[in-house]
Amino acid sequence: MSSFTSRFLSIFALTALLLYGSCSKREERLIPGNIAPPDYTIPNSLKVNFINKLYIGLLGREPENAEFEVAKDMLDASNFSKASRGSLIDIVLDNSIFYDREYEIMRSDLLNSTDTLQINDMIGTFQFLLSSPAYEEQWPVIQVELDKLILLKNAPSDLKNGSISIKKMQEIGCNNFFFDNINMGSTNFVIATFQHLLLRNPTAFETEEGVKLVEGFSGTLFLNTGNSKSNYFSIFFNSSDYCEGQVKLLFTRFLFRLPKSEEAVYFTNLYKTEFDYKQLIKEILITDEYANIN
């Protein structure tokens, strides 16, 4: 073999070895089944949907452009953290329209959307009856009914200025001429309060005892005794059953489901501590489920 041929084969063998070695090293760097690090960046669409859903759910409208930009910047700054969501929820809950929205929901649910004009007309009717000697014997009863309607009429403004709570507004919504006429009779009255505010029917015992209270007789409801319609409201709206009913209603409204047993216990106890309706809403809306984070 010539020296040229020998030299060529040596170079070829060395080149092949280097190429093979190079390929082998590349293959060794490829790890089968390797998984890329998780991406914790929140998609922009989730933030946009959260902002719109929040405003529509609490205020009944979409955010204005300026409101949206503030909300978006707030969520972007901390990558959609629970803290930033909570701060945004506080801002929306502080909007006075929130109270208008809650009143409208109550009015629709409890009073078949009885409007201000109808309330004013009935107030005028009762005021006329109080000026007529023909109804003098009925004046005390008429005055009581008139006072209840005035409370109902003033409920939206009283909510905004803090004179009454959401709980008190609901009581006012059940304690007036229109609710009584929609649910005529003591039995229907008791059933209606349970269905609308506890999201369940009363038991036979609860119905019987509730009727006694509403009609002015001694009765026991939720382990508390009374003998008047006023006692019925006091017992009803300060009970754990009422608190649990509100939790169920808010879960249904915002999460489109009933709370699980452990959720019902936690949120019921939370609400009953101070009857802070806004805080109850915030605790539900701050969850990853409401934010649609898997």
> What percent of the chain shows pLDDT beyond 90?
85
Q: For residue 268, give every residue at least 6 positions away whose Cβ sits within 8 Å of its Cβ, in sequence order, or none.
A: 240, 243, 244, 247
Task: Using the predicted structure, report yes or no on whether residue 15 has a pLDDT greater than 80.
Answer: no
Reduce the DSSP state of residue 113 to 3 states and report it. Answer: coil
Residue spans per domain, the chain? 44-95, 242-291
Rounded to whole angstroms, the Cα distance separating 282 from 54 reads 11
17 - beta bridge partners?
Answer: none
- Terminal Cα-to-Cα distance of the chain (whole angstroms): 73
Rounded to whole angstroms, the Cα distance separating 287 from 278 reads 15
- Tens-place pLDDT, residues 213-270: 999 999 999 999 999 999 999 999 999 999 999 999 999 999 999 999 999 999 999 9
- Tens-place pLDDT, residues 104-119: 999 999 999 999 999 9
- Answer yes or no: are the C-beta atoms of 221 and 209 closer than 8 Å: yes
Q: What confidence category does residue 294 fall into, taking pLDDT thresholds of 50, 70 and 90?
A: confident
What would the 3-class secondary structure string for 15-73 be? HHHHHHHHHHHHHHHCCCCCCCCCCCCCCHHHHHHHHHHHHHHHHCCCCCHHHHHHHHH
Higher pLDDT, 16 or 78: 78
Helical ranges in 112-220 per DSSP H: 116-130, 139-160, 166-174, 177-182, 186-197, 204-214
Rounded to whole angstroms, the Cα distance separating 169 from 149 reads 12
pLDDT of residue 25: 47
- If you ran DSSP here, which 8-state letter would residue 135 be given? G
Rounded to whole angstroms, the Cα distance separating 192 from 210 reads 12
pLDDT of residue 35: 57
pLDDT of residue 33: 58
Instruction: Spell out the long-range contacts of 183-187 with Cβ–Cβ below 8 A and sequence spacing 24 or more.
Output: 186/210, 186/211, 186/214, 186/215, 187/211
> What percent of the chain shows pLDDT beyond 70?
86
Overall average pLDDT of the 17-44 stretch: 54
Give which of 94, 97, 113, 117 is closest to 105, Cα–Cα: 113
Give which of 239, 247, 244, 252 is closest to 281, Cα–Cα: 247
pLDDT of residue 42: 80
- Crossing angle of the two packed helices 44-59 and 65-77, in degrees rounded to 10: 130
